[in-house]
Each structure stands twice: as C-alpha cells, then as structure tokens.
Amino acid sequence: MSAHDSPTTLGRARLSFASEADIDEFADMLGKFERGEITPDQWRVFRLVRGTYGQRQLDDAQMIRVKIPQGVLTVEQLDALADVAEQYSRGFGHITTRQNIQLHFVKLHDAEPAMRRLAEAGLTTREACGNSVRNITACQFAGVAADEPFDVTPYAEALTRFLLRHPLSSSLPRKFKIAFEGCSRDHIKLTINDIGWLARIQEGHRGFRVYIGGGTATMTTAAAVLFDFLPVEDMLRVAEAVIRVFHERGDYKHKQRNRMKFLIKTLGWDAWRAAFDDALAKVRAEGGRKLEFEQEPASDEAAPSWRRPPAPAVDEIVRRLEAASLRGPGIVPERRTSPATLGHFESWVRTNVRPQKQNDFVSAVVTVPLGDLSGAQFRVLGDLASAYGDGTVRVSAVQDLVFRWVRQNELPALYNCLQAAGLGLPDADSIADVTSCPGAESCKLAVTQSRGLGQALEQHLRAAPELIEMARELDIKISGCPNGCGQNHIATIGFQGSLRKVDGKAVPQYFIQVGGGIDADRTTFGRLAAKVPARRAATALERLVRLYADEKQDGETPVAFFRRIEVPKVKALLSDLESLTSETATATDYIDLAETTAFRPETTDGECAT
C-alpha cells in the first residue's frame, strides 16, 4: 500500500486519507486564535477535530493523534511517523487501544509541519479527537483469519471514506466509535462501540450483525443488536441514519452523559428504534448512498506477488537503535536489544505466531510494551514488513503490531531482526502484555501514572514466568481515570487510578476490578473488588493469579473464573493490602510509580468533550 496508487508501488496500494486543505485551515485558524479573532473555546473545538489535544503541562505541549484506519500502516507511513516522532515529539510514538498513533509533547506551532509530513504518506489527524466520528477500527487479522466469513477491511475502509469529513461527522454531541470484526473471537471489542459490525453470511450473501449503543466509563453498557443480519449494501445508509439520530437528538449540554448510549436510555429502545427507522427511511428517500464496489471484494487477501527487498542486517539494526535519540519527560521505550537464542525463538513462535488461512503463510505479532515505538523502531518495522511481509503492519487494540504474510521458513530471520530491534518479546496478548492509557504523564484528566503501573506489572510478571503460565489468558488493562481509555472495564483484571488521603497526604491507589470481558456469549464489565495503594498493585495481582490457579475448575478460563468468583472473597484476599495508615505507610507509598517526587494529583478539565 502507499498513499497513492502507482504501478511502481511495492506492496498493496491504498489511496490517501489526508487533505492539504485541512492543514491550510488549521494554520489559518491558529493565526486567527493568536490574533484574538476567535475565542479560546472556538479554537479548542476546532483544533480537537483536527486531532490536536492539549496536555496537562502548562507550557506549550500538545498531543497529536494520528488516525490509522483499520490499523493498517504502510512502509511510507511508518517512515513518516518516525520523522514526526523524531523532529517534533520525544523520539517515539504511542499505539492506542483504538488503533491510533499518538505523539506527545509537540509544540503548537510544530503541529502544522507535523501534519504536512504525515499527509505526504496519506495519514490524517482529521476527526481523531473531539465530538466526531473517531478512527474506524478493524480486526488486525481481517483477511487472513481462518474463521472469518469474509475480509471486513474493504468495508471498514469504505465507511471510513464515507464518514471522513462528512457534514455531520465533526459536529456531534460527543465522540462516536465504530468497529469491524470477522473472527469468532472479538479482537476489536465490538460491543463497547457506538456501532459494531460483525461479518456474517446468510444464504450466500454477505452482511453484518449490527450492534448499537455500547460504551464504557460512566454507565458501562453492552451494545444491543440492531440487525441480526444487514446486507452489506445497506451499511452506509444505516450508519448515516444512526448518526443523524444522534446528531439531531443527542445531548449537547451535559458532557458526562452525552454519548449515544445515554440517548438510547433516555428515549427508551422502542422510541430510539422508531427514530432510527424514520431517519433510515429519509436517507433512502433522499437517495442515500448504497455501498457499491466495481467488483465485490475478495473474501480474503491475495498473497504478495512482488519481489521483496532484502532485510537490513542485524548489526545494522542494532546500530540504528543505539543511535536513536529518546527524550522525556516520562517513560521512554527501553532498549532491549539482545542476541537471539533457540529457546527464546521457540517461545516466541509458540506465543506470537499464528497460521493464516492461506497455506504456507503465518502472521507474527510484535509485542510492544506500553505501546511505545521509537522512530528507529518505526523505520525498522517498515523494512521488515517489506522484506518478510506484504509491505504493511497492522496495529491492534492491545497496543501491539502484526506482520502478515510471513513465510514459515523465514520466521527465524524475522525473529533475529526483531530481537535486534528490541521487539522480540514473547507472550503477546497474554497476562504479560499489559494495556495502559497514557495516564498522568500527559493527560489532564488522569489521576495516576498508569504507564508506571503498566511497566511495573509487566516487569513483575516477566521476572516470574511461572505466574504467566498460571494464567496466560488473563488480560490486564489500566486507566489513569474513570474514562477508561485503557479499557479497564472489560479486563479480566482492571486497574483504575484514584487517590486516598493518609493524614492529609495524597497516596496514589487503584480500584481493582475483576471479571470484565467480551466473548462470543456475552459482555461483562469488571466489578470493584478492592482499592489498593499503587505500590502494592503487583502483590495484589500475584495473589489474584494464584487464586485462579488454585481454585479454577477444569477448563475454566480466567475471565470465566473471575466472573464466577464472589467479590467478597476477592476483597478478603486483598484486605491487608487495602489497609494503609500513617504508621504502616512507607515513604514510597506517597510517590507514584515511575515518579521520584511526592504524589500531587493535579487534574483539570479535560478535552475529551468540548
């Protein structure tokens, strides 16, 4: 893929999502704001829709969120992200749970040149933040998964292009999230989206089961089924009708209750459905767009037919990683370069490689701690995607990356290169692969340093591999505030940042939630089981892992166990860790993880809603 179709493209072609006019308008509005021609509120609303989000730091620090539609990144795009990370950010970028890439500590006047560099590769920040239709996500295995009815990627891309810069897409009451899945296992978490599309085939025809009105944070809600089967041709019309109802009837005044799930609850399902049916009839009467392709997309991807370039040498990769300039503030990616060994390779293959539906090819997952990638790593990944894959990688909802179309016999060479790049960790999508939001490192709303906890838990688990083996399928997700950007509400064990006072002094702590998860049968949200000081969270986790190992029933998964277990039992297990007094507290209890000074929570009005 590249930003523009070209007969010389090495890889799969994909048209650009960017618009130079968007960036010209951003520069013009910034000038108006600085001249006092628009108010700070008007500027905030505008820049958020352009993907520029103010950080908690009072000096000039912005977060730029880059939309990665369907999680697909090309070699050219990886190179552009590397350039922006190195020139305008901290030398690295961050993968989010919605398949975006975030770049932090960007100066406001650097946002425009950063956007222009991204646009050269077909990337946009348009509607990545603000009250808009956000990045449309899709399963990272779409097109190569053995159990999918068909590849959802072309349909998700078609909806992305239809809604990007749509007249309603940036003027909604609140953010609006859409996701696509085709696998029997829900990798993309359909039921916590405003619209979720699950691929199905009925009587030989392609369609979707359509979920509606899901969400976490305040009033956790599992999406309801709007259509058990909707023909693919009606996808654009249905999406527009849903968005019309939200645009016309949603709550524009109350930031804490203006997601679509609140509208459905306020109206009641029958009234909301009647409003939707009316909107859909109007869309049809107006000649609303039917989804059409020149020819029906293939059920799965075709194998790469082009000649692949050679991979960089291992010592060259090491040299590039060692030359990388990473800077704070905050946690920076660790340099994990190390020589590959047979034992490590076998472990990596067992946990990070899965067969594709296409014979002789596999997909290889790259474990990315905290979702952080340096500029040098972005570039190396691009080189390896060209040499061993199809010229793309896909980012996942658990903040990892996937190489597809790897030949089985080339896995050792790919692994050696990943090890040299510090990206050869095993245990992808397991208990050791912790998901975390950026937290108080940059977010205005966050109470705690969630990335610090994520790093601490991962290090604790990797230092005790027996814990990983006890509960490999258990997932851990961390958020620094109730908004749940780290998706703690749907984790087997979720951590939500908060604070307590001990003799007037602030102590960082986490609400521990158990039993959240999304599977084929149902969606459950974690139940609050304990409130544990941050420095004791690793001990709490270890106790919970051992509880599962000791008391699980035959064949019982971690999520099934923690759905079944009574909360009082978990609370009793952790009660001594909850208790904290001035006599029992240590000096480090008053310091957040990954910090060196006393904990001073300083939350301000966030910009998640404008």
Same domain for 187 and 116, yes or no, is no
Task: For tokens 């089981």, name the residue.
Answer: 529
d(CA 226, CA 203): 20
Phi then psi for residue 293, to 5 deg, are: -120, 155
Handedness of CA 100, 105, 110, 112 (dihedral sign): positive
Task: For tokens 């025809």, name the residue.
Answer: 205
User: So what's the pLDDT on residue 609?
Assistant: 57
Residue 229 host element (H or E): strand 224-231
CB atoms within 10 A of CB 153: 22
**Helices within 182-259 (DSSP H only):** 235-249
pLDDT tens track for 221-249? 999 999 999 999 999 999 999 999 999 99
User: So what's the pLDDT on residue 608?
Assistant: 64
Q: What average pLDDT score do residues 284-303 get?
A: 93
Same domain for 573 and 444, yes or no, is yes
Residues 6+ away with beta carbon under 8 Å from 586: 535
Same domain for 101 and 161, yes or no, is no
| Mean of per-residue pLDDT scores for the chain | 95
Same domain for 479 and 570, yes or no, is yes
Same domain for 93 and 160, yes or no, is no
User: So what's the pLDDT on residue 602?
Assistant: 81
- DSSP assignment of 62-117: EEEEEE-GGGEEEHHHHHHHHHHHHHHSSSEEEE-TTSEEEEEEE-GGGHHHHHHH
The per-residue b/e assignment along 105-131, b for 16 or more CB within 10 angstroms, e otherwise, is bbeeebbbebbbbbbbbbbbbbbbbbb
370 within domain boundaries = no
Structure tokens at 214: 């899901």
pLDDT tens track for 557-585? 999 999 999 999 999 999 999 999 999 99
111 within domain boundaries = yes
Task: For tokens 């085939």, name the residue.
Answer: 201
d(CA 376, CA 312): 13
128 within domain boundaries = no
The amino acid occupying position 56 is R
CA angle 476, 102, 126 (to 5 degrees): 125
**Cβ atoms 488, 494 nearer than 8 A:** yes
Instruction: Examine the fold and report which residue of 236, 258, 285 is the final residue of a domain before the chain moves on.
Output: 285
Q: Is the pLDDT of residue 529 over 90?
A: yes
Q: What average pLDDT score do residues 474-494 get?
A: 96
d(CA 226, CA 206): 17
User: So what's the pLDDT on residue 391?
Assistant: 96
The amino acid occupying position 28 is D
How would you write 500-556 as a 3-class SS string?
A: EEECCEEEEEEEEEECCEECCCCEECCEEEEEEEHHHHHHHHHHHHHHHHHHCCCCC
Q: What average pLDDT score do residues 173-183 get?
A: 97
Instruction: Examine the fold and report which residue of 255, 285, 315 is the final residue of a domain before the chain moves on.
Output: 285
CB atoms within 10 A of CB 42: 13
Q: Which of 172, 159, 158 is nearest to 48 (CA)?
A: 172
CB atoms within 10 A of CB 304: 19
Q: How many domains does the chain have?
A: 3
Handedness of CA 384, 389, 394, 400 (dihedral sign): negative
482 within domain boundaries = yes
58 within domain boundaries = yes
The SS3 call for residue 418 is helix
Same domain for 85 and 157, yes or no, is no
Same domain for 201 and 158, yes or no, is yes
Q: Which of 411, 429, 509, 350 is nearest to 185 (CA)?
A: 429
CATH number at residue 65: 3.90.480.10
**Cβ atoms 443, 452 nearer than 8 A:** no
Same domain for 155 and 104, yes or no, is no
Same domain for 484 and 565, yes or no, is yes
**Cβ atoms 98, 436 nearer than 8 A:** no
Same domain for 156 and 116, yes or no, is no
pLDDT tens track for 346-359? 999 999 999 999 99
The SS3 call for residue 55 is coil
359 within domain boundaries = no
Name the pTM for this structure: 0.96
Instruction: Examine the fold and report which residue of 269, 285, 301 is the final residue of a domain before the chain moves on.
Output: 285
Q: What average pLDDT score do residues 75-93 get?
A: 98
Same domain for 43 and 112, yes or no, is yes
Phi then psi for residue 429, to 5 deg, are: 55, 40
Q: Is the pLDDT of residue 269 over 80?
A: yes
Structure tokens at 286: 């107006």
CA angle 431, 435, 438 (to 5 degrees): 155
**Cβ atoms 125, 115 nearer than 8 A:** yes
User: So what's the pLDDT on residue 610?
Assistant: 59
Structure tokens at 470: 């006890």
d(CA 610, CA 607): 6
Provide the residue range defining the domain that includes 236. 145-285
d(CA 581, CA 595): 21
Same domain for 116 and 248, yes or no, is no
pLDDT tens track for 403-443? 999 999 999 999 999 999 999 999 999 999 999 999 999 99
Q: State in Å, rounded, how far the first CA of the chain is from the last one.
A: 35
**Helices within 164-268 (DSSP H only):** 235-249, 260-267
The SS3 call for residue 183 is coil
User: So what's the pLDDT on residue 601?
Assistant: 87
User: So what's the pLDDT on residue 521?
Assistant: 76
112 within domain boundaries = yes
CA angle 207, 213, 219 (to 5 degrees): 150
Q: Is the pLDDT of residue 9 over 50?
A: no
The amino acid occupying position 426 is P
CATH number at residue 255: 3.30.413.10
390 within domain boundaries = no
CB burial of residue 358 (10 Å; 0-12, 13-18, 19+):
middle
Strand arrangement, sheet containing 92-95: 52-54, 62-67, 100-106, 92-95, 372-374
Strand 476-479 with 493-502, pairing: parallel
